[in-house]
């Protein structure tokens, strides 16, 4: 006679260059620009020579440029969009009503005076010496070519332009009221739009995210000799400039006059940023066999705390670089600059503008050098691949730095994964990227990660999706293929696709090759939909001396499942149930033995497995004991039996 003990558990009801890859091409540019900034009028004239290689198989009859600063005018698309989003309200902490607009923008553009707006005006434009017709459509310049650019050919554009630096509102600008920094010069020049296999990308400057063309820059900036500049590239005339850029122990010889011309070159980048202030303090650190670290910040007399905080940014950068390069790839440039400027934190090639010396922001912006400045996905379409991957890396780099700071003599290497003890996962699960994602998933405002960065219905949904859900994508990938193979994937991805503008499919292909696991289903569910993960222990019973356990999938997104069983005698068992769609299994992690069961088919809402133990011997069962799966309701994931 079979003895069946059935325990029904309704836990889920609410208990407590040129050709990058075969067939893939890229355009190429070479900029030479000369600008002279008048620090009294906040205006400058510029000359730009742009060499453009059409490596595409297409004949181009028109080209487009970005004119970003035209966004800083009343009733612009950026202004209107910000004010419209501000009509959406949420209840924040303390039940305080919060408007959805970007707090840095709000309705400030609407109230700019004529000498406070930003603009970029094209005075003349020639291609190969021939004048071209163009039309300015706010932040986009459309050029109808007199002669098409043929596949495989190169043309030269010569442009004269005029610009006024806007009052600091978003990323770029002058006279930041919070920091006092005079000039944050980002998006400051007419920049050719990207053209790829999807065609032109003339994205108006509404709020966020960029996409550029790889190339070389030669930039000559003339301004008042009392101003100190930090930015992209390598200063070519350091011995004429000084201000800490000169070789140690050498004499600086400045030319006569009231201005200085700073001459920079930057190879193989897709943008160029600079900032200037007469009170910048310059810290320089040399890393043996590595880049020079520059930190430039606004001097605050008799403020030792401010000096110490910015000095720590330089110290921290030197400390963490070996860890970054080991886990995310080599830094290929000869310098990196942390510059006080902008309105928060914003990344650019070889430099970042950061409002303050917070290390989390500094690490985040530096990690953008890997995921935007070198891999450089189209942020408008794949913001989560930049912001999310960067946020994931920032957490690891920050943890490593704190470890080194508290125990600098330690030889222990921080793993780029997650510890096995469940209690170690609780802070990660309750805060940071996981918490941000759960907040989004439960808000009713979530949109797929495939949404264009400017087209999210709310700023809230964009930020949680791009940063939090994008970061969880990588953490959870470690759960699916193992942390070790996820880490190998990140290095392989960097080395294969550096300087090649990869997309989501290309990342997935790398992960599949490294892991020998099919992952198209993961991208489909996590990126293309808003379906959520929720698994539960449904019921268990004893049959023929074995314990049978039934699991239930409540959420609409299927996943492979790890289950950990604890027994009365102190032993434990890890059960691994691959997902049918994977057509493979992840390797055992942390040398923990496990029992591998048949794959779970996504069409089946329940799954039953058994273990060779009496039910009375089971002490606890937990689904996803490492807490890496983004299960939206963990209350039904664990059962403790009080026999």
pLDDT digits (tens, 9 = 90+) for 314-335: 999 999 999 999 999 999 999 9
Averaged pLDDT of the chain: 93
Give the span between the Cα atoms of 83 and 613, in whole angstroms: 63
What the block records as the tokens of 400 is 């490593």
What share of the chain in percent tops pLDDT 70?
A: 93
User: 584-600 pLDDT, tens per residue?
Assistant: 999 999 888 899 999 99
160 within domain boundaries: no
Same domain, 426 and 519: yes
**End position of a domain, from candidates 497, 512, 528:** 528
Confidence of residue 409 (pLDDT cuts 50, 70, 90): low
Residue 514: how many CB atoms within 10 A of its CB?
19
Phi, psi angle pair for 118, to nearest 5° = -110, 150
Same domain, 330 and 243: yes
254 within domain boundaries: yes
pLDDT of 418 above 50: no
Give the span between the Cα atoms of 269 and 7, in whole angstroms: 62
Same domain, 231 and 350: yes
Same domain, 236 and 370: yes
pLDDT of 393 above 70: yes
**End position of a domain, from candidates 494, 528, 562:** 528
Find the range with the poorest average confidence among 284-288, 416-420, 437-441.
416-420
Q: What confidence score (pLDDT) does residue 511 get?
A: 98
Q: What confidence score (pLDDT) does residue 12 get?
A: 34
pLDDT of 426 above 50: no
414 within domain boundaries: yes
501 within domain boundaries: yes
Confidence of residue 14 (pLDDT cuts 50, 70, 90): very low
Summarize the confidence of residues 57-73 as an average pLDDT.
98
Residue that the structure tokens 């019973």 belong to: 541
Same domain, 477 and 552: no
Cβ-in-10-Å burial (0-12, 13-18, 19+) of 158 comes to: middle
Q: What confidence score (pLDDT) does residue 186 get?
A: 98
Q: How many domains does the chain have?
A: 3
Q: What confidence score (pLDDT) does residue 411 get?
A: 58
Q: What confidence score (pLDDT) does residue 17 get?
A: 41
What share of the chain in percent tops pLDDT 90?
A: 89
Count, residues in the chain: 643
pLDDT of 422 above 50: no
Give the span between the Cα atoms of 428 and 395, in whole angstroms: 10
pLDDT of 300 above 60: yes
Q: What confidence score (pLDDT) does residue 464 get?
A: 97
Same domain, 356 and 424: no
| CA distances, 101 to each of 107, 341, 439, 564 (Å) | 9, 22, 18, 45
Q: What confidence score (pLDDT) does residue 203 get?
A: 96
pLDDT of 6 above 50: no
Find the range with the poorest average confidence among 217-221, 237-241, 405-409.
405-409
Estimate to the nearest angstrom the gap between the alpha carbon of 83 and the chain centroid. 26
Which is nearest to 526 in space by CA: 586, 588, 469? 469
Give the span between the Cα atoms of 224 and 639, in whole angstroms: 70
Give the span between the Cα atoms of 68 and 140, in whole angstroms: 8
Which is nearest to 564 in space by CA: 625, 479, 607, 630? 625
Same domain, 434 and 462: yes
Residue 195 β-bridge partners: 200
DSSP track, 535-551: EEEEEEEEETTEEEEEE
More confident residue, 106 or 411: 106
The secondary structure element, H or E, covering residue 239 is: helix 238-241
Same domain, 351 and 429: no
More confident residue, 6 or 101: 101
Summarize the confidence of residues 492-515 as an average pLDDT.
98
Q: What confidence score (pLDDT) does residue 15 get?
A: 30
Same domain, 596 and 487: no
Cβ-in-10-Å burial (0-12, 13-18, 19+) of 479 comes to: buried
Domain hosting residue 247, numbered range:
224-376
407 within domain boundaries: yes
| CA distances, 36 to each of 44, 275, 597 (Å) | 5, 14, 69
CATH number (domain holding residue 634): 2.60.40
**End position of a domain, from candidates 482, 501, 528:** 528
Instruction: Say if residues 273 and 231 touch (Cβ distance below 8 Å).
Output: yes
122 within domain boundaries: no
Phi, psi angle pair for 153, to nearest 5° = -110, 165
Confidence of residue 209 (pLDDT cuts 50, 70, 90): confident
Residue that the structure tokens 């303050």 belong to: 356
What the block records as the tokens of 125 is 């434009």
Instruction: Say if residues 633 and 16 touch (Cβ distance below 8 Å).
Output: no
Same domain, 257 and 346: yes
Which is nearest to 620 in space by CA: 2, 4, 9? 9
Same domain, 493 and 554: no
User: 124-140 pLDDT, tens per residue?
Assistant: 999 999 999 999 999 99
Summarize the confidence of residues 55-77 as an average pLDDT.
98
CATH number (domain holding residue 330): 3.30.2010.30
Q: What confidence score (pLDDT) does residue 410 get?
A: 63
Same domain, 347 and 475: no
pLDDT of 519 above 90: yes
Q: What confidence score (pLDDT) does residue 23 get?
A: 75
312 within domain boundaries: yes
For 442-446, the CB contacts below 8 A with 24+ separation are: 442/632, 446/530
Give the span between the Cα atoms of 25 and 54, in whole angstroms: 10
pLDDT of 150 above 60: yes
Give the span between the Cα atoms of 640 and 643, in whole angstroms: 9
Which is nearest to 313 in space by CA: 352, 279, 280, 357? 357
| CA distances, 473 to each of 436, 468, 469, 629 (Å) | 13, 9, 6, 10
304 within domain boundaries: yes
pLDDT of 21 above 70: no
């Amino acid at each position: 006679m079979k003895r069946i003990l059935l325990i029904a558990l309704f836990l889920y009801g609410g208990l407590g260059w040129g050709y990058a890859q075969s067939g893939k091409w890229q355009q190429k540019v070479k900029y030479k620009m000369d600008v002279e900034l008048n620090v009294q009028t906040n205006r400058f004239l510029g000359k730009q020579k742009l060499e453009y290689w059409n490596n595409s198989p297409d004949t181009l009859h028109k080209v487009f440029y970005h004119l970003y600063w035209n966004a800083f005018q009343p009733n612009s698309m950026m202004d209107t969009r910000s004010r419209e989003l501000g009509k959406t309200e949420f209840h924040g902490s303390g039940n305080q009503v919060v408007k959805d607009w970007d707090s840095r923008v709000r309705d400030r553009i609407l109230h700019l005076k004529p000498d406070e707006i930003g603009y970029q005006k094209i005075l003349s434009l020639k291609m190969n010496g021939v004048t071209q017709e163009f039309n300015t459509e706010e932040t986009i310049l459309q050029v109808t070519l007199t002669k098409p650019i043929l596949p495989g050919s190169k043309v030269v554009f010569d442009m004269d332009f005029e610009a006024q630096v806007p009052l600091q509102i978003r990323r770029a600008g002058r006279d930041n009221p919070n920091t006092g920094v005079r000039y944050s010069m980002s998006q400051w020049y007419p920049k050719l739009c990207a053209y790829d296999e999807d065609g032109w990308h003339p994205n108006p400057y509404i709020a966020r995210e960029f996409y550029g063309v790889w190339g070389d820059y030669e930039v000559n900036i003339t301004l008042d000799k009392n101003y100190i500049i930090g930015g992209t590239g390598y200063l070519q005339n350091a011995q004429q400039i000084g201000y800490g850029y000169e070789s140690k122990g050498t004499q600086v010889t400045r030319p006569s006059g009231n201005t200085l011309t700073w001459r920079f070159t930057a190879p193989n980048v897709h943008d160029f940023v600079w900032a200037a202030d007469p009170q910048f303090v310059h810290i320089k650190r040399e890393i043996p066999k590595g880049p020079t670290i520059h930190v430039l910040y606004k001097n605050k007399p008799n403020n030792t705390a401010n000096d110490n905080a910015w000095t720590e940014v330089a110290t921290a950068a030197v400390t963490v670089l070996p860890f970054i390069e080991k886990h995310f790839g080599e830094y290929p440039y000869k310098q990196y600059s942390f510059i006080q400027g902008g309105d928060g934190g914003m990344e650019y090639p070889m430099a970042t503008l950061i409002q303050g010396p917070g290390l989390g922001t500094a690490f985040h912006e530096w990690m953008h050098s890997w995921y935007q400045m070198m891999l450089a996905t189209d942020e408008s379409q794949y913001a989560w691949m930049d912001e999310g991957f960067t946020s994931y890396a920032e957490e690891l780099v920050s943890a490593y730095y704190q470890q080194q700071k508290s125990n600098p003599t330690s030889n222990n290497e921080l793993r780029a994964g997650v510890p096995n003890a469940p209690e170690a996962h609780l802070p990660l699960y309750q805060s940071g990227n996981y918490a941000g994602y759960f907040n989004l998933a439960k808000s009713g405002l979530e949109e797929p990660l495939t949404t264009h960065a400017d087209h999210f219905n709310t700023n809230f949904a964009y930020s949680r999706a791009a940063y939090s859900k994008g970061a969880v994508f990588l953490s959870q990938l470690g759960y699916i293929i193992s942390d070790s193979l996820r880490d190998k994937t990140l290095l392989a991805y960097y080395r294969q696709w550096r300087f090649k503008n990869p997309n989501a499919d290309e990342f997935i292909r790398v992960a599949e090759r490294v892991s020998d696991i099919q992952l198209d289903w993961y991208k489909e569910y996590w990126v293309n939909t808003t379906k959520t993960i929720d698994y539960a222990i449904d019921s268990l019973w004893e049959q023929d001396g074995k314990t049978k356990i039934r699991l239930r999938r409540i959420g609409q997104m299927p996943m492979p499942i790890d289950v950990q069983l604890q027994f009365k005698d102190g032993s434990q068992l890890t059960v691994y149930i691959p997902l049918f769609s994977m057509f493979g299994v992840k390797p055992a992690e942390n040398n923990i033995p496990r029992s591998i069961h048949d794959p779970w088919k996504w069409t089946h809402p329940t799954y039953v497995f058994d273990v060779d133990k009496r039910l009375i011997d089971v002490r606890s069962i937990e689904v996803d004991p490492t807490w890496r799966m983004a299960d939206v309701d963990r209350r039904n994931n664990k059962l403790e039996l009080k026999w």
